[in-house]
Amino acid sequence: MTSTGRLDGVGRDILSRLAAERPRLMATKSAIERTRQSLYQSPTARQWYGEVEKQANLLLDLPALTPTWVHNPRETGAAPLPLVRHPKSSDAPAAPLDIARLFCLRIQTLGIIWLLTSDPRYRDRAKAELLAVCAFPDWTADKFLVTAETAFGAAIGYDWFYDSLTDNERELIAHTIVEKAIQLGLDEFDAPRPPR
């Protein structure tokens, strides 16, 4: 995309190679089916699935993230991935980067379980999370990493839940990703640089 929001020749070529079928980011229908088969055949895969399912079930009972999120000790103690730094206190205010990482983790955890089970509870909870983060006033903080990680989670949610989103929800999410992340990156590229 150019800074005016139009695709240049390279962008059109890249987009033309995307698979039409969703999901297509980090998961495909064939990969999901292979995973289901692994769950039948592998005790280790079933054990890992059980851990992810426990985390997803915990998320069903938690409210959606807010810009002023305070860590929930149940979530910070149970997160299966080391991406979310443990706060000094398990019930302390979350830093913007923690919120971005919790968002990514929540979308992926709920999404994986939904893609494998088709249980609408996980889909609906993930959609609520995605729409809540789109309503944040911005996705910025003192580091662009917050913006990038939030956009990553939103892109995964947009792709994995695409068929379950209304046209208005799809438009809102896509517009929010562009407005609160992509445009900020393009503006940074266009910003004048001091001479070296």
DSSP type of residue 164: G
pLDDT at position 81, please? Answer: 47
Q: Quick: pLDDT tens for 126-154.
A: 999 999 999 999 998 777 899 999 999 99
Residue 11 has pLDDT above 60, yes or no: no
Structure-model confidence comparison of residues 52 and 141, the more confident one: 52
- Topology of domain 24-62+92-190, CATH: Glycosyltransferase (1.50.10)
Q: Closest by alpha carbon to 115, among 189, 44, 30, 41?
A: 30
Residue 31 has pLDDT above 50, yes or no: yes
Delimit the domains of the chain by residue range.
24-62+92-190
Dist. CA 55–CA 1, nearest whole Å:
37
Q: Degrees (nearest 5) of the Cα angle 57, 131, 62?
A: 30
pLDDT at position 15, please? Answer: 60
Give me the residues paired with residue 70 across strands: 93
pLDDT at position 9, please? Answer: 52
Q: Quick: pLDDT tens for 56-113.
A: 999 999 999 999 999 888 887 776 444 555 555 566 788 898 899 999 999 999 999 9
Q: How many CB atoms lie within 10 A of CB 130?
A: 28
Tokens of 7: 């695709």
Residue 30 has pLDDT above 50, yes or no: yes
User: 38: burial class by Cβ within 10 Å (0-12, 13-18, 19+)?
Assistant: middle
User: Do residues 103 and 116 lie in contact, with contact meaning Cβ atoms separated by under 8 Å?
Assistant: no
User: Do residues 111 and 126 lie in contact, with contact meaning Cβ atoms separated by under 8 Å?
Assistant: yes
pLDDT at position 74, please? Answer: 84
